[in-house]
Structures are given as structure tokens and as C-alpha cells.
Structure 1
């Protein structure tokens, strides 16, 4: 075990990684709130909107994350992170010049390419800054960047689009991110790899062997499956809630931006922190309770979502939506902490990239796109979108079941 980083170094690293992740989710989310003016200006269908916010982004984000994670397992993770934020922010700004669906998809693929490198490298760094017994809480604090980024994405996108236009929103947000990249490179320090593992610092494991290690852990595979199914429901909520409230409840874009930022910011923050904090409170001699705790939370997402989508009252729908978001985000810190604990340090970034691949191809890639296709197939009217979102919400039950089943193998896999 190498010398531990100071408390100040850990706090600074955590803060910087939070800032990076905030911009990650801000740039990813802003296109969701801008769907309303983009659909009008570029004459897009619901299926095209679903592909833009889901499939086109997720395919490249997920698949490119694997080779970039291999670089993070071999070379400097801070360079990977700084380069990633510079690229995705530049592509966000450039996407404001799009005049067609094809151009907008092309630039969003560029955003996906940049964002693909950030999260696996971050997971690996945090695992070397914090010991296993504090890791879920640290990841929960870092994970607050997700609801904060989504909240800022809704607010900045909605209000800038209403005050100026949707193109200016992309120019401004992307430009600020580009300026942040050199600051991250200057201040972020690289921790010793495998700091809390016994024995010498590990060499990078060949990817084929890494996949074999993962395949021998059934709990890990079930966590991947449960995370993918939960992210399917979560991605639909994050990407289609704005059109839902505009069409079904007649809300103005600025009001939607404020409501969704509060719903996601407060509900998501509580869910992420509660998930990490409660997971670290589980006794060390009963680790199987960690996936059980998360599984129960995910089972409850479906009834909460049904209330949100079917309520006639806007106030009731928004309140139920906040509960739904809280429960959907509960899995975030636990799944990262559990998967990082199930594998050796030499493949942690690689494991995170495989987690992101499964979660985002199925969840982010298929969820918004299938919702758009279902909405168009059902007639494309306002009620069609409600029906499509309702159908997708039932995947929450399967997500919770996967986590409960993972509990049967989790303790044994930890000993491996």
C-alpha cells in the first residue's frame, strides 16, 4: 500500500471531478430541454428526437468508452479527463450551427466521443483516492454532479432558448466548458494506482482476461443488467419529460425548465446521496444487503412513474415525478461502488466502461428512441407520448428484480 494522499488533496480532487461531471451532464441534458424549439425549427418527428437524444449519442458514447478506458488503465487519467472535457464542450458549441437533423446528429456524436473518456477514468481515480469502506459515500458525493448538471442543463437551455434562441444556449454552454479544460489539467493530481489493494501496484490486465474475470462473477453481470434496465426508464424520464409537460400539461418552456431542474436537482440529489450513504451503512459482514437495498428502491419506481404520467393535475404529476427521479437515481453510487469492489484495480476503468456500455446502449440508446417510435406508431398525438412513456416505466420492475437476484451471489463474488 502506497502513501495515502492528504485529506486536502482528496477534497480538491473530488471537487474537480465533480465540476467535470457537472459539465458532462449539463452538455448531455441541454439537448433534451431544447427538443421543443429544435423540433419546431428543424421539423423533426418524435422518432428523430428519440434517436438524437438517445440512440445516436449512446452508440458512440458507450462503445468508444471501452478503448478510451483502456488508455486510462495504462496512462495518465487526468490527461484523459482534461482532453475529454475540451472535446465534448467544443462539439456542444459547434452543434449550435446545425441546420439539419443529420448535422445535429454528427455533432452530438462528437459530444459522445468526448464524454466517453471522462467517467471510467473518474471511477478509477476515486477508487484510488478513497478506501472501500468510504468509496460509496465518496461516489455519492461525486454523483451529485449528475442532478446538478441535469438541473443546470434544463435551466440554462430552457431560459437561454426562451430569452435568445436554442443555438445561443449551445454556444454559451459549450464555450464555458472549453475554458475549464486547462484548469482541470493544471490542478488535478494523479493518485497511485491500486493504492488500497494488497501487493505491488498492478499492471494493466489484457482485455480478454478482464472480460473473463467479469464473466466469472454472476452478481456483476446481474448488476450490469439491472443498471441497464433502470437507466432505460431514467433516460426516458430525462429526455421526454420536457415534451411531456409541454404537450400534456401546456406548460411554457421556461416554466418547464424551472420545474424539471427542481425535480431532478432536488429529487436526484437526495436519491444519489441516500443510495451511497445507506450502502456504506450496511454491515461489512452482510454485504448482500447492498444490492437488496437498491433493488427495493428500483421496484418502487414503476408505481411512482404511473402516478406521474397519469395524473390530471400538473402539481400532482410534478410531485410524483420528483419521487420517481429520486428512486431512479438511488442506484447510481451503489452500482459503481459494488462493481469497483468486485474487480481488481488493474481493470477498474475497463469495468466501468463495460458497465457504461451495457447501461447506455440499452438504457440511453434504446429508451428515448423506442419511446419516440412508440409515440409515432400510436398516432403521434399528445396522448400517444403519455402511453409510450407509461409502457416503458414497467421496465423498473425488471431492474429491481435483477438487483435482488444479484444479492444471492454478491458475497461469494466479493471473496473472489
Structure 2
């Protein structure tokens, strides 16, 4: 039995692992400016490094590693993954060409692929369905914290010691958490599932895929996540370049602005989105995906104005609103997916979700935006990057429609029977 104190401790460790995930991923979006200058890279190549090349390995390997998380000790899988990606982040500091940069980023992707599915599976066995979106959101606060630390530390490090040394310092720092994660307690699988579901043996991969495909709400959910991630990853990858190139804001200023916007704004969006989703979702199961859809319909027009308005001050204010609204989806999407699936395939469920979201969002978003930027810049000058990002964020309109469609099918596809009750489940808030 996992005690209340252990529950919080494990969630904190997963949070810290994920912080380093986003720190390691974020620093490239800041450091790409001096890297581009030193190595002579194009926008399309930068889009490849921050997008498709990373996403293919991160997404594809997430499925088999997610499947492994349904059988093996998840805490040690997370610890091993952290060791791999932080090591490759440090090695990025010795890159001398686009090819070597690409190889090291692939190594980071291979390591990070092992973290998210196993972490989601652990959290779903720590907290019941009515508290799960909030718990996942608390874990998800690692995203704004990691981005805040990534932007602020990368901006300071590149100014004071250089971009290569920045990769060394940030990469090696993540190794501190590895032993704590390795020896953490493993929660019992299926704690909050119906008895017959919790005791059922894990299905084969083919059977697990059949279960996932049978859920129409899940199919719409993962596609919706992919299209929204297309917009989010593009914005996150190109914001620094946009303000430096289009508005001539100094890089250190941009670095600290993005640190605050992503740290504070994203944190508000993630936590508020999860609380709203759990509030409306406990009254109507369709509430969780509908909270996401409504937030995206509000966000898109604000984002378009952000990238077209001539004033950098107005743009930055709107950017804070955009980033807050963009991260509303983080907790609810995983909570809804796991609410439909038994514990013995939840790692696999998150792996498939990560596959689709990463290939569509991380893989294509930054890359296509880079190609559009090259074309629009040739035709319209420096404002071409703003036009490219404005086109990209419209993918969230498609996503809003898909999240709403998922909500329509959801009532018939959740695990309907009463879950197992854990007698010692603490009643205090997860925070």
C-alpha cells in the first residue's frame, strides 16, 4: 500500500524527472540562435532538429517502451530513461555540424521516450479518476517550470559561458535525480480499477491495439491532441526567433520574457484547465474534453493577432494569454484517455497517444513552420516568420472540433463499473 506521504513523494520525483525533460528540450530553442550563426544552419534545418528528427524517435519508441511499462518496474524505467537523455544533452555541446547535432538530438529523443508513458501509468495508480486530471496537471506543471528554467538558464549560460558549455551544465544536472527515482516505491497496478479489470492479465499487443481502436472517443482524442500539439510546438520552437528577428528584441530580454510567460502562464493554464476539467467532468463525463475545445476556440484569434500586430509590447501581452490557453489541454487529455482504459494497458495507451501527438505536433509543426518561414520571408521580408506561425496556430481550430467529437462518444466508452476503493486513500488535496 502506498501511503499519503509516499504518494506525494513519488509524484514529486516524477515531476522533477519531467522538469529535466522540458529543460533539455527547451534550451535548444534558445541556443539555436548562436548555433545557427556558428554552424550556418537554415530555418528548415533548425525545424528538423527541434521537430521531425526528434519526434520520429521519441514518438515511435514511446509505443514499445509504453508497452514495457505495462509489464516492468516503471520507476526504474523512468530512472534509466533520465540517465540516457541527460547524457546525450551534455554531449550536444561537442557537436560540430548539423549531422552531429542531429545524432545527439536523436539520443535525447530515445531517452525521453521512456519517461512519459511510465510516469502517466504510475500516476493513474496513485490517484483515482475524479482526482486524476489534477494529479496529472501537477505532474504537468513540470512543463512550465522546465521551460522557465530552460529559457532563463540557457539565456544566462549562453551569454556568460557559451552555448556548448550550456549543454554540458544542463545535461549533467539531471543525473542528480536518478538514484532517488530508481529506489522509489512502485504502486500497485489497477488500484482504482473495477476488481475484474484490475485482476485481468495484460492483453497481447494486438489485443491492446484492438481495445484502443474500439474506443471512438480515444481515436478523436489522440488526433485532437496531435493537431493542437502542431500549434503548440511550433509556437514554443519559434517564439524566440520571432521576437529577435521581427521585433528586434535583444535575446536576453526574449529569454527572460519567454521564461516568465511559459513558467507562469503555462502553469496557470495547466492547473486551471485540470481543475475545470475535473469540476465539469465529475458532473458530466463529456466536460473534460469540452473544456479543452472551448479554450482553443478562444485562443486561436488571440494568437493570430499576437503574430501580426506591429507593437512588440502588445504582441508580448497577447503572447502571455496565448500560452496560458494553449496548455489547458495537458492534464485532461491524459485523464480522459486513462479513464477509458484498464491499468494493464495504460502505459501503452500513453505511448500511442505520445506517438500520434509527437508525429503530428512535434514532428511536423516546427518543421512545416520553418519551411513556411523560408518561403514567406523570401516574399515578405522578416515578417514572414510571423505569417508562418499565424498559419500554424490555426491547427488548433481543427483540434477543437476533434475534442468536441471525442466528448460525444465518451459517455459510452469509459470504464463504467464502480472502481476499487482504497481504504487508506487520503482525503486531503493532492497539492
2:185 matches 1:189: yes
Aligned twin of 2:14: 17
Assess if the C-alpha contact under 8 Å between 1:375 and 1:385 holds in 2: yes
Q: 1:244 aligns with which of 237, 242, 245?
A: 242
- Confirm whether residue 404 of structure 1 aligns to residue 400 of structure 2: no
From 5, 15, 40, the counterpart of 2:37 = 40
Task: Tell me the equivalent position of 1:180.
Answer: 177
Q: CA deviation at 1:396?
A: 1.3
Change (3 A) 1:396 1:172: same
**Equivalent residue runs for 1:8-407 within 5 Å:** 8-186=5-183, 188-199=184-195, 200-282=198-280, 284-380=282-378, 381-407=381-407
Distance 1:76 1:229, change over 3 A: same
CA contact 1:194–1:202 (8 Å) conserved in 2: no
Secondary structure, in 3 states, of the residue corresponding to 1:409?
helix
Distance in 2 (CA, whole Å) between partners of 1:401 and 1:264 is: 25
Q: Is the 8 A contact 1:162 1:253 kept in 2?
A: no
CA offsets 1:354-398 (integer angstroms, 9 cap, x no match): 000000100010000001111112245421211111111111111
For 1:196 and 1:411, the matched residues in 2 are separated by 19
1:37-74: CA deviations, max 9, x gaps?
01101100000000000010000000011111111111
Unaligned runs of 5+ in 2: 417-431
- Most deviating of 275-284 and 110-119: 275-284
Aligned-partner Cα distance in 1 for 2:318–2:200: 47
The secondary structure found in structure 2 opposite 1:219 is: helix
Cα offset, 1:285, TM superposition: 4.7
Q: Distance in 1 between matches of 2:137 and 2:128?
A: 14
Residues paired across the two proteins, number: 412
Local SS of the residue matching 2:408: helix
Normalised by the length of structure 2, the TM-score is 0.94
The Cα of 1:153 is off from its aligned counterpart by 0.9
Aligned mates of 2:262, 2:331 — CA distance in 1: 16
Q: Tell me how far apart the structure 2 counterparts of residues 379 and 256 of structure 1 sit (CA, whole Å).
A: 21
Contact 1:271–1:327 (8 Å) recurs in 2: yes
Conserved? CA contact 1:193–1:201, under 8 Å = no
| Cα displacement (A) at 1:161 | 0.5
**CA offset digits 1:336-367 (Å, max 9, x no partner):** 00001011111000000000000010001000
Matched, 1:413 2:413: yes
| Counterpart secondary structure, 2:202 | coil
Alpha-carbon RMSD across the aligned residues, in angstroms, is 1.2
Distance 2:104 2:325 in 1: 32
TM-score using structure 1 length:
0.97
Q: 2:428 matched to which residue of 1?
A: none
Q: Runs ≥4 in structure 1, deviation > 3 angstroms?
A: none
User: SS of the counterpart of 2:103?
Assistant: helix
TM-superposed CA distance for 1:198, in Å, is 2.2
Deviation at 1:283, TM superposition (A): 5.3
- Secondary structure, counterpart of 2:226 in structure 1: helix
